[in-house]
Amino acid sequence: MQEKLKIGNVEIISLMDMIPPPRPPGQFFPDVDQALWEPYKEEVLDKGLVQLYYGCFVVVSKQKIVLVDTGIGPGPHPTRGNKKGNLLKDLQRKNIKPEDIDIVVHSHLHIDHVGWNLDLSSEPPIPFFPNARYLVPSIDWDHFTKPDNLANAPWVSENVIPLEALSLMDLFGDGFSVTDEITSILTPGHTPGHMSFILSSAGQKAAIVGDAIHSRVQINEPSWCAGVDIDKVASEKSRRYLMEKSVSEGMILAAGHFHPKEHFGRVYRHGNATRWESI
């Protein structure tokens, strides 16, 4: 287990915002038959339930401090047992001040990835990271700001759309250089514009995978899709792509929804089977 990793000259630091209430496997992976969980009961499930974690990452690259995703936000969150987010406290624990963040970049626009964008207790809202540009995937922006989709995504109205009026937001697409060492890669499926981020420095590589991979069980079972994946065929393809890069190139993967002890790891293949080894 590591909280910090060096990828060449890049430093990546894992952060924890909140541990949401666990959910029955059938609720999280509705297309997966209960019996198929049998081999993973001990290793993956927690008292028979799927436990997710709302983690984010800070990447220090080329004198820039980049926050990748902003958790679910301060809360309390009625849809998550009234729990509260702790991202600012965890940043403080790691000696990072909100004003140190130069860039906030989002993998996608779900509630648990945009929550600490804006302090909504202030009128008008003010950014939690006062010196940051906020980078938003353009395909997700187009998708979530359509009236029908926006009606079901109030967090976008609260925590993303005001960034535009505040002149804090830039849209980005596939292959965008966040810094010379951090490049976005379109990994659609979970959402249409879902982005992963490839870190590349001094011959070493890692990828922050966002929600292309939610749970460690998907390393063993890449065809399993979360119910919330919008396009499940694309989601599986994106997941397999990232896993293949880890297998063939030894690329480290950083998965914010995994247990904090397993946020960083590599995928290994044995015959047809794949498994996760955390570092």
Binding residues (CB under 5 A) for Zn ion: these are 112, 211
User: In angstroms, rounded to a whole number, what is the distance separating the alpha carbons of residues 106 and 136?
Assistant: 6
Residue (30 or 250) nearer to Zn ion, CB: 30
Residue (211 or 236) nearer to Zn ion, CB: 211
CB of 113: closest distance to Zn ion in angstroms?
6
| Edge-to-edge order in the sheet of strand 204-208 | 177-179, 182-186, 195-201, 204-208, 252-254, 264-270, 273-278
Residue type, 9: N
CB of 258: closest distance to Zn ion in angstroms?
11
Residue 200's SS3 state is strand
Residue (60 or 110) nearer to Zn ion, CB: 110
CB of 117: closest distance to Zn ion in angstroms?
15
Residue (69 or 102) nearer to Zn ion, CB: 69
CA atoms within 13 A on the CB side of 190: 21
Residues 31/237, Cβ–Cβ less than 8 Å: no
CB of 222: closest distance to Zn ion in angstroms?
18
CB of 111: closest distance to Zn ion in angstroms?
8
User: In angstroms, rounded to a whole number, what is the distance separating the alpha carbons of residues 253 and 266?
Assistant: 6
Residue (17 or 112) nearer to Zn ion, CB: 112
